[in-house]
A and B are shown apart, each in its own frame.
Chain A
Amino acid sequence: MHRGRIQSQGGGLNDSKPWNQQMPLDHPAGIGLSHSLEAMPSKKEKVLRKLAHEKARAFMDAAKLKGGVGVTSKTYMVKGDPHRRVDIEVRKGLAFK
């Protein structure tokens, strides 16, 4: 099995887009989950988190070129904010190949 989630945390948000499937989450699916997570909150939160989401997707792009990534956790903070962040958690298996 291959499991994980992408999430927006802090600033009153606790939004999450999980996956749990037989095959590794491929790169287009990861990018799709990221965009759908980014679309969830208010306009203000979208603006604040724009760069954090872009950095998360840049990591997925790099992973695609390098064979994917195994179990890991990535955190992308909103600059200057000690709470708002975007996380990638690959909890089992592979992702973004």
Chain B
Amino acid sequence: MSEFLYERFLEDRRVYHAARAFWFKQVKRLFPNKEPLEPYLAERFENGELFYDGNPIINVINLRTSKCARVIQESPAKFEKFYTSWEHETSLTIGSAGTTVPLQEKVIVLTLTRDALQKSKDELRGWLRDG
């Protein structure tokens, strides 16, 4: 049995949607006290179609701390076991006001195993919670 979760997410759109829903649930469960999380990046083209490339598979900004994070899920067929992450400052236009704001962003790039999932959840919890 494969150690990778949602291994065929790039080949089968049903698997992709399941993987995406899985990530939403995992991130929501990180904060039982209901931190104000919402997406801050487009995951769809202008015609409404999802990117379907796992880049990002999930993205969230905590409106309380103004810290944001995105997770990029790579194919195990190409990347095998892989995990890296970094933090940096960027600036993006958030919301409908059209104002560009500086953001502290964490980026995690992984192939999804149970170990990688746990590590990413630990990183996301600490990063998004602390202002």
Interface residues, chain A, with chain B CB atoms under 8 Å away: 3, 59, 62-63, 66-77, 79-80, 82-83, 89-94, 97
Contact = CB atoms under 8 A, between A and B. Distances in A.
Given A3-B100, A77-B82, A77-B109, 16 more contacts: A59-B51, A59-B53, A62-B51, A63-B45, A66-B47, A67-B45, A70-B46, A71-B41, A71-B92, A73-B92, A73-B105, A75-B72, A79-B79, A91-B90, A93-B93, A97-B46
Contact of B55 (A74, A82, A94): A74
Interface class of chain A by DSSP: mixed
B53 A73 contact: no
Interface string B38-77: 0001110111010101011000000000000010101000
A66 B45 contact: yes
A65 to B, nearest CB: 8
B107 interface: yes
A73 B90 contact: yes
